[in-house]
Amino acid sequence: MPDALAQLADLLGPRLVTTEADRRLHGQNETWYPETLPSAVAYPETTEEVSAILKICHAKSLPVTAYGAASSLEGQHLALNGGLCLDMARMNRLLSVTPEDLLCVVQPGITRKRLNEELRATGLFFSVDPGADASLGGMAATRASGTTAVRYGTIRENILGLEVVLADGTVIRTGSHARKSATGYDLTHLMIGSEGTLGIITEMTVRLHGQPEAVAAATCRFGSVEEAVNCVILTIQSGIPMARIELLDQFMVRGFNLYSKSALPEVPHLFLEFHGSSAAVAEQMASFGEIAEEFGVSGWQTATQAEERNALWAMRHNAHYASAALGAGAGGGHVWPTDTCVPISRLAEAVTWAQEKTVEMGLTATIVGHVGDGNFHVGLSVDPEDKAVMARAESFAHALGEKALSLGGTVSGEHGIGIGKQHFMADEHGTAVATMRAIKTALDPTNILNPGKLLPPA
Amino acid sequence: MPLAKALDDLQAFLGERLSTAKPDLDAHGLSESYFAPAPPDAVAWPETTEEVSRILQICARHGVPVTGYGAGTSLEAQAQALQGGVTVDFARMNRVLTLRPADMDVTVQPGVTREALNEELRATGLFFPVDPGANATIGGMAMTRASGTTTVRYGTMRDNVMGFEAVLADGRVIRTGSRARKTAAGYDLTALLVGSEGTLALVTEITLRLHGIPESISAGICAFPDMASAVNAVMDTIQMGIPLARIEFVCRETARAFNAYAGSNMAALPHLLVEFHGSPESVAQDAARFAEIVADHGGSEFQWSSNTEDRTALWAMRHNGYYAILASRPGARAIVTDICVPISQLARAVEETQADIAASGIPGPILGHVGDGNFHAILLIDPENTDDLDRAKALSTGMAERALALGGTCTGEHGVGIGKKAFMTAEHGEAWSIMGDLKIALDPGNILNPGKLVPGN
């Protein structure tokens, strides 16, 4: 192993770092997993360097874990078995934009906000918005989505092709710049969501969308979570093309009031956004309003100015920290995130079950969700030192996952498996886990790519 | 010998649903395009997943090839039994299993055709949008990653399949995907199976996304002085975000063929056939905005209608395009190409293709799903004339190479089968051998549709 690091140091010079400070920086995570230090951190600048790094690591069986913005919530970027952390920060360029094809080519280290800043003059935007300012490579590798997926799809629908370095250093290209293709196995989508266990993404062809002519955001309140969710269900079933439709339960709103100093009434809310022509936005808002009336909506507030909208979504995007803030008062401070996603018709059942269960189990918890997709997060306040609370959180998270599966859903709508959801893999995928394992073995026979993630121990 | 033993074992539980009669074998060995017949040694008609699993267990044990068969409408010989063996015909697994209108999804068996499915959905106000023209089976469409006229709005099969039940080469049954609208849990086996052409597994259940039948539909047609103007109008329309449900290009030769075949009265000019879905107000607004773009590009007045008969007639004409073109050269057979390029390269790709076709002396009308950058040249060859076939193959190769040079793909929707294998290295490089590695990982005995898609088998 020192031998491998020496070779890597020869290759990368000062861009291979082994200082404790840097390793420690790369060993942190947004959730409650313990600090996990890699043996070294590499900062490649080109695909060729990534390929050369992987050749060395492959020859010496040194584990390699890719690192983007470290905003993942299931520890995907943590080097569990030590080895090399591949920080893609220096591969963060927008390589080309082709406005007439509504696409661009980027390196994986670029963050979504930076990309949208660079795109501003084109009238186009990259739609996927997981809240955190994640890197695009990380978003692809975890199959991220977020608030806008209900309208524009997840990252799965927004990537046309990839350049990927495989475990042995082989560089492949998947997909094309055409909008569709029927040529062979869909390696692009095999790589999306593979959490760095099948290859390292070094370039991505990304779909863009035209900035809507008009955008309006709104907030409204409901008497219960169930009424709010039933309003969402009917909205989706009616085919109103919502750009965003987010649920926040009363505890989440309390968290916002604490963290973002807002003064929202502490009752369930929906945060909404409408995109289209001015006429279409007005029509969508009216149609939504009619449905919402049926479920006793109140406190309707609209925001058409960009600043007001930005403030609203900034508050929403800080939900994770607001959940932590809510817990801090109760001795928590860390958040155990859940990420279930269910068929839309079962959403009310799932959300009310979750809320009742957290109360019954004495857990401090918030509920926030991309409910247009059937996806919601229960943020459990935990103190990793408090064994009893950790045990209850684990027990709740497990029960919630099983509940989602029983309703025809999934344990993870957008965070991925990483470390925290491996125990669900057999329950969700059954015999297909062996198929996934066969694929992993075929592409990474010595298991150097992000070992210990996604697939449960054999 | 292994074959005979396998057929005995299959006969034992399939009874009359295993046939080795020559007419059955011959019927399953044909292709819609120019490929030579390749009949299997037997045809099986399973009725359940368990039967498919038993068939695969037996065939795996004896090393007998297995090829899935739907409606036989594929254009790259995907359903032909190149190495003999057993063809699994899904005609008896053609039921709509569970319809869930509240979630806008449905689970079907692979043998149901898209028209039969939409017939069953009629009362629900929902429909399944993917429309390749032919009345293909859902299983076949999933396996070839089919798309068609409505893809510009509703996506391809990849976007509309939520999950599978699939039987692996050794008979194990797996389930992929989820009925949730999105999932980040594990490798995307659903996407891996879509487009795998029966080389990784046989699918026995498919869960599909459905869409609400739009309140209003308007469709219309307009002519352009030249092809580039038509394509530029399409590009502008897409960039302005006008939500097209269908946008089809036909060249002047195709327009002439329509006139002769369907008695239409189109000018001998390139045309766009267009459809909008939405509310009565929104389709009227979309049509008006589109008409302005057409006028900007020198097109004729955009004539549109929300009348069902008018629309049906328009799309029937389009769907019969292949036959209309075939009829324009009596006795001819067709080689159909399928390139797809980034939309910014479409005008160039069509122009250069038309020049090559004109130079070849072979008639080759063009029509296409231009909203996706996908178009087909129907190369009409005299089956008695080997020179024709050679020239058509050279044209087809030239088109594929051009598509790749322009950042596109050699096949937008027909798949690889055997006809496009020659372009796979050029299109995918090392990634093609990775596909081969995946094939070996999932089907080490190479019994699933051998000879198709992946290298060297």
B441 contacts A178? CB cut-off 8 A: no
Per-residue pLDDT tens digits for A293-330: 999 999 999 988 889 999 999 999 999 889 888 877 65
Q: What SS3 class is residue A28? A: coil
Q: Do B409 and A181 touch (CB under 8 A)?
A: yes
> What tokens were used for B226?
């030249």
| B313 falls within a domain | yes
CB pair distance less than 8 Å for B438 and A344: no
Task: Give A412's DSSP letter.
Answer: B
For B430, name the nearest residue in chain A, comparing CA atoms only: A172
As annotated, the residues of chain A forming the CATH 3.30.43.10 domain(s) are 2-87
Domain containing B356: what range?
329-420
Contact (CB<8Å) A431/B173: yes
Nearest by CB: B424 against A103, A184, A343: A184
Overall average pLDDT of the A244-266 stretch: 94
| CATH assignment of the domain containing B365 | 3.30.70.2740
Assigned domain for B119 exists = yes
Statement to judge: residues B285 and B336 lie in one domain: no
User: Could you tell me the fold of the domain covering A94-210?
Assistant: 3.30.465
- pLDDT at A2 > cutoff 80: no
Give A163-218 pLDDT, tens digit per residue. 999 999 999 999 999 999 999 999 999 999 999 999 999 999 999 999 998 999 99
Mutate to test the interface with B, among A124, A180, A211 (most CBs of B within 10 A): A180
Q: What is the ipTM of this complex?
A: 0.95
* B224 and B201, same domain (yes or no): no
A401 within 8 A of A340, measured Cβ to Cβ: yes
Architecture of the domain spanning A214-406: 3-Layer(aba) Sandwich (3.40)
**What is the pLDDT confidence band of residue A1, given thresholds at 50, 70 and 90?**
low
Q: Across the interface, do A410 and B196 touch by the CB < 8 Å criterion? A: no
In this complex, do A414 and B184 lie within 8 Å of one another by their Cβ atoms? yes
Q: Pick the last residue of a domain from B267, B290, B323.
A: B323
pTM: 0.96
Distance from CA of B137 to the nearest CA of A (A): 17
Rounded to a whole number, what is the distance in Å from the CA of A412 to chain B's nearest CA? 5
Q: Please indicate, yes or no, whether residues B6 and B110 belong to a single structural domain of this protein.
A: no
Residue A375's nearest CA partner among A408, A342, A345 is A342
Please give the Cα distance from B258 to B322 (Å, whole number).
Answer: 10
> Which of B434, B448, B449 has the most A C-beta neighbours within 10 Å, making it the best mutation to test the interface with A?
B434
Share of chain A above pLDDT 90, in %: 89
Q: Judge if B86 and B23 occupy the same domain.
A: yes
Asked whether residue B7 falls in the same domain as residue B51, the answer is yes
For residue B23, the distance in angstroms to the closest alpha carbon of chain A comes to 32
Return the residue in B168, B183, B190, B374 with the most chain A beta carbons within 10 A, the one to mutate for interface testing: B183
Give the total number of structural domains in chain B.
4
List where CATH 3.30.465.10 sits in chain A. 94-210
CATH of the domain at B137: 3.30.465.10
B409 is a domain residue: yes
| Coil, helix or strand at residue A440 | helix
Among the partner residues B102, B144, B187, nearest to A436 by beta-carbon distance: B187
Q: Which chain A residue shows the shortest CA-CA distance from B437?
A: A442
Residue A279, pLDDT score:
87
C-alpha closest to that of B85 among B28, B201, B3, B22: B3
pLDDT, position B282: 87
Assess if residue B187 is contained within a domain.
yes
Q: Report DSSP letters for A192-203, one per residue.
A: TTSTTSS-EEEE
Interface A-B: count of C-beta contacts within 8 A = 270
Q: Contact B453/A184, CB-based, under 8 Å?
A: yes
Return the pLDDT at A332: 60
- With beta carbons under 8 A apart, name residues in chain B contacting A102: 238-239
pLDDT on residue A458: 85
- How far, in Å, CA of B39 to CA of A66, rounded? 49
Return all residues near A52 (Cβ < 8 A) that are at least 6 apart: A11, A169
Relative to beta strand A298-303, strand A214-221 is: antiparallel
Mean pLDDT of A100-110: 96
Over residues A49-67, the mean pLDDT reads 98
Q: Are residues B102 and B201 in the same domain?
A: yes
Cα four-point dihedral sign A443, A445, A449, A451: positive
Residue A346 has pLDDT above 80, yes or no: yes
Architecture of domain A2-87: 2-Layer Sandwich (3.30)
Indicate if B222 and B131 belong to the same structural domain.
Answer: no
For residue A277, pLDDT beyond 90:
no
- Chain B CB contacts of A144 below 8 Å: 184
Residues B309, B290 within the same domain: yes
Closest CA to A373 of A404, A395, A419: A404
By three-state DSSP, how is residue A5 classified? Answer: helix
User: Residue B324: what are its φ and ψ, rounded to 5°?
Assistant: -60, -40
Where is the domain boundary, B275, B299, B323? B323
pLDDT in tens, chain B (457 residues): 799 999 999 999 999 999 999 999 999 999 887 889 999 999 999 999 999 999 999 999 999 999 999 999 999 999 999 999 999 999 999 999 999 999 999 999 999 999 999 999 999 999 999 999 899 999 999 999 999 999 999 999 999 999 999 999 999 999 999 999 999 999 999 999 999 999 999 999 999 999 999 989 999 999 999 999 999 999 899 888 889 999 999 999 999 999 999 888 999 999 999 999 988 888 998 999 999 999 999 999 998 888 889 898 899 888 888 899 999 999 998 999 999 999 999 999 999 999 999 999 999 999 999 999 999 999 999 988 999 999 999 999 999 999 999 999 999 999 999 989 999 999 999 999 999 999 999 999 999 999 999 998 5
Residue of A nearest to B423 (CA): A183
* 3 state DSSP class of A105: strand
Give the mutation candidate from A122, A127, A162, A185 for the B interface (greatest B CB count, under 10 A). A185
CB A408 within 8 A of CB A335: no
Instruction: Give the closest of B184, B412, B416 to A142, CB-based.
Output: B184
B143 & B189 share domain: yes
Closest CA to B393 of B321, B326, B334, B332: B334
What's the whole-number mean pLDDT along residues A2-10? Answer: 92
Our measurement of the distance from residue A435's CA atom to the centroid of its chain's CA atoms, rounded to an integer in Å, reads: 24
Last residue of a domain, one of B212, B239, B254: B212
Q: Is residue B188 within 8 Å of residue B255, measured between CB atoms? A: no
In a domain, B449, yes or no: no
Considering the domain architecture, whether residues B61 and B100 belong to the same structural domain is answered as no
Residues facing B294 on adjacent strands: none
Output the 3-class SS for A364-397. CEEEEEEHHHCEEEEEEEECCCCHHHHHHHHHHH
Please report the pLDDT score of residue B241 as a whole number: 83
Asked, for residue B430, whether it belongs to a domain, the answer is no
- In A, minimum Cα distance to B237 occurs at A100
Chain A CB contacts of B147 below 8 Å: 180, 182
The shortest CB-CB distance from B192 to any of A181, A183, A185 is to A185
H or E element, residue B327: helix B321-327
Distance from B318 to chain A by nearest Cα, in Å?
Answer: 21
CATH code: domain of residue B257: 3.30.70.2190
Q: Is residue B455 part of a domain?
A: no
Question: B407 and B379, same structural domain?
Answer: yes
Cβ-count burial A289-302 (b if 16+ within 10 Å, e if not): eebbeebebeeeee
Interface probe for B, chosen from A189, A435, A443, A449 (most Cβ of B below 10 Å), is A435
Closest partner residue to A182 (CB to CB) among B239, B415, B424 is: B415
